[in-house]
Amino acid sequence: MRFVLNGKRADVAAPPLKRLLDVLREDCGLAGTKEGCGEGECGACTVLVDGAPVNSCLVPFAHVRGRKVTTIEGLRGRLPETFVREGGTQCGICTPGVLMAAAALGPRPTSARVREALAGNLCRCTGYAGIVRALAGSRAAPHPRVGAARGRRS
Amino acid sequence: MATALSRLALLQPRSLDDALRRLRDEGPLVPLAGGTDLYVAFHFGTVSARRFLDLQGLRDLRGIRRRGESLVIGALATYTDLIRSPLVRRRLPILAEASRWVGSPQIQNRGTIGGNIANASPAGDALPVLAVAEATVLLGSVDGERRVPFSSFYTGYRQTVMRPDELIVAVEIPPVEGRQWFRKVGTRAAQAISKVVMAAVRAPRPRIALGSVAPTVVRVPRTEAVLAGGGTLAEAQAVLMDEIQPIDDLRSTAAYRRRVSANLLAQFWSDTARPR
């Protein structure tokens, strides 16, 4: 089945109801997308489909046919450095999902907008203050501009 | 993952007619829209069905439009579609408001109004809105379209009047006169299943519907009648607490739900006391 993965054409054979999360990790070798709860509560598995954040643990692979899928490996920009500087990352499990959920925000979002955009992302370290600080008003606000994945893994 | 997803079959119809034919001839099939309820059930291993019907490609189930005086919302409209729709925001703003309280942005981008109706949860956030709007559910089958008033769509806990060969095509909403009001009470603002959810319309004959207080989402006609007849708020609250049948469960208790329902009624009544 064909779709666009991080800006590159992809053709992957996988069962239609397999979770997009598992296709990304197992069939595409992109392990940056994490599984937290597996039931759409925690947001750790957030990826973009046609620019919109979704929980990849709840998306059947068949539903991305012909669509653009963006994972943490395809996110470009300086946000990772901003996260390090502001202490936005602690254990790191929630971080890829947080960055992808935030990717739907425009530049220089208010902290209220950041909190709303991240309503579906749980940080088990409860490090929300650093996350919001890294995103709110950030010049390096994430954007869904993507490049090809270069095998960056986490 | 409790359910072995790789062994399940997904039928992908080319059109609504094709989908309805397959529902009749190749059933039983479980329709799949946004998957936000179904995949949670897969995760917990509570799905016994083996074959699924993919609705995602069916254009006839999409779109939000006017038809005469009514608003017609395709079954595949997502909560994000409802939040963004100028038509919904103008004519039924409490549906957009309820959609903002569903899950999270990730869930709102996938979950659909048709799925919320079909899943038949007494806690469905959009359902009290459809109840006070006196919506009609449009069901399709090879025999044609069947129109079911929302008030008679549910027959019991997670039970509906739908036949296995029928599909929710759209929901039709007549013009709503009066001031609209909505509030959901959960453990936290996002990602919470409601403890109590209420939608209401302030009109000469007020309309009030609640979720999570009975086996299905319910209108409360006795409470509405007290308010319509000029009874006091305290009288209406007493009737409401008797009229609903909440239970103790892992999210809340019956006593808390009764108290909060009465409080929400008071809030609705004072918030809408003067026309805007």
- DSSP letters of B104-151? -HHHHTT-BHHHHHHHT-TT-TTHHHHHHTT-EEEEEETTEEEEEEGG
| Nearest residue in B to A42, CA atom | B191
| Nearest residue in B to A121, CA atom | B104
Chains A & B: contacts with CB separation below 8 Å: 92
Mean pLDDT of B187-214: 90
Q: Measured between beta carbons, which residues in chain B are less than 8 angstroms from residue A40?
A: 36, 39-40, 103-104, 106-107
End-to-end CA distance of chain B: 50
Indicate whether A137 pLDDT > 90.
Answer: no
Q: Which of A28-37, B1-10, B128-137, B240-249 has the lowest mean pLDDT?
A: B1-10
A33 inside 8 A of chain B by CB: no
Q: What is the pLDDT of residues B109-127, one digit of tens each?
A: 999 999 999 999 988 899 9
Q: Tell me how far apart the alpha carbons of residues B242 and B60 are, in angstroms, rounded to a whole number.
A: 43
A58 inside 8 A of chain B by CB: yes
Q: What is the pLDDT of residues A20-47, one digit of tens each?
A: 999 999 999 999 999 999 999 999 999 9
Of A62, A63, A120, nearest to B105 by CB-CB distance is A120
Q: Measured between beta carbons, which residues in chain B are less than 8 angstroms from residue A117?
A: 105
Q: Does B106 contact A16 at a Cβ distance shorter than 8 Å?
A: no
Residue range B179-271 forms a domain whose CATH class is alpha beta
Q: Does A121 contact B104 at a Cβ distance shorter than 8 Å?
A: yes
Q: Does B10 contact A55 at a Cβ distance shorter than 8 Å?
A: no
Q: Tell me how far apart the alpha carbons of residues A114 and A86 are, in angstroms, rounded to a whole number.
A: 15
Indicate whether B2 pLDDT > 80.
Answer: no
| Nearest residue in A to B192, CA atom | A41
Predicted pLDDT of residue A152: 40
Q: Does A41 contact B105 at a Cβ distance shorter than 8 Å?
A: no
Mean pLDDT of B81-104: 96
- pLDDT band at A151; cut points 50, 70, 90: very low
A112 inside 8 A of chain B by CB: no
Indicate whether B262 pLDDT > 60.
Answer: yes
DSSP 3-state assignment of A11?
Answer: strand
C-alpha distance from B81 to closest chain A C-alpha (Å): 12
Indicate whether A127 pLDDT > 80.
Answer: yes
C-alpha distance from B272 to closest chain A C-alpha (Å): 27
Q: Does A15 contact B8 at a Cβ distance shorter than 8 Å?
A: yes
- The answer to whether ipTM exceeds 0.95 is no
A54 inside 8 A of chain B by CB: yes
Predicted pLDDT of residue A141: 54
Domain segments of chain A as ranges: 2-74, 79-135
Interface test mutation site (partner A, options B106, B107, B251, max chain A beta carbons within 10 A) = B106
- Within 8 A by CB and 6+ apart from B25, the residues are none
More confident residue, A52 or B190: A52
Q: Does A117 contact B105 at a Cβ distance shorter than 8 Å?
A: yes
Indicate whether B263 pLDDT > 90.
Answer: yes
DSSP 3-state assignment of B211?
Answer: strand
Mean pLDDT of B250-274: 93
Q: Does B40 contact A39 at a Cβ distance shorter than 8 Å?
A: yes
Q: What percent of chain A has pLDDT over 70?
A: 89
Q: What is the pLDDT of residues B138-165, one digit of tens each?
A: 999 999 999 999 999 999 999 999 999 9
Q: Is there a contact between B38 and B32 (Cβ–Cβ < 8 Å)?
A: yes
- pLDDT band at B175; cut points 50, 70, 90: very high
C-alpha distance from B250 to closest chain A C-alpha (Å): 17
Indicate whether A154 pLDDT > 80.
Answer: no
Of B43, B56, B106, nearest to A120 by CB-CB distance is B106
Predicted pLDDT of residue B156: 94
Write down the CATH number for the domain with range B59-173.
3.30.465.10
Residue range B5-54 forms a domain whose CATH class is alpha beta
- pLDDT band at B172; cut points 50, 70, 90: very high
A46 inside 8 A of chain B by CB: yes
Beta-carbon-side half-sphere exposure of residue B111 (alpha carbons within 13 Å): 28
Indicate whether A148 pLDDT > 50.
Answer: no
Q: Does B190 contact A52 at a Cβ distance shorter than 8 Å?
A: no
Predicted pLDDT of residue A78: 79
- pLDDT band at A107; cut points 50, 70, 90: confident
Domain segments of chain B as ranges: 5-54, 59-173, 179-271
Indicate whether A149 pLDDT > 60.
Answer: no
C-alpha distance from A124 to closest chain B C-alpha (Å): 15
CATH architecture of A79-135: Orthogonal Bundle (1.10)
Mean pLDDT is highest, among A131-135, B28-32, B119-123, for: B28-32
Indicate whether A150 pLDDT > 60.
Answer: no
Scanning B157-253, the segments in alpha helix (DSSP H) are 221-228, 233-243
Indicate whether A142 pLDDT > 70.
Answer: no
Predicted pLDDT of residue A143: 58
Write down the CATH number for the domain with range A2-74.
3.10.20.30
Q: What is the pLDDT of residues A54-97, one digit of tens each?
A: 999 999 999 999 999 999 999 888 788 888 888 899 999 999 99
CA angle at residue B52 from A45 to A10, to 5 degrees?
45
Predicted pLDDT of residue B252: 87
Q: Does B5 contact A104 at a Cβ distance shorter than 8 Å?
A: no
Q: Give the Cβ contact number of residue B27 at 10 Å.
A: 13
Query: What is the enclosing helix (H) or strand (E) of B177?
Result: none
Of A40, A60, A120, nearest to B32 by CB-CB distance is A60
- pLDDT band at B274; cut points 50, 70, 90: confident
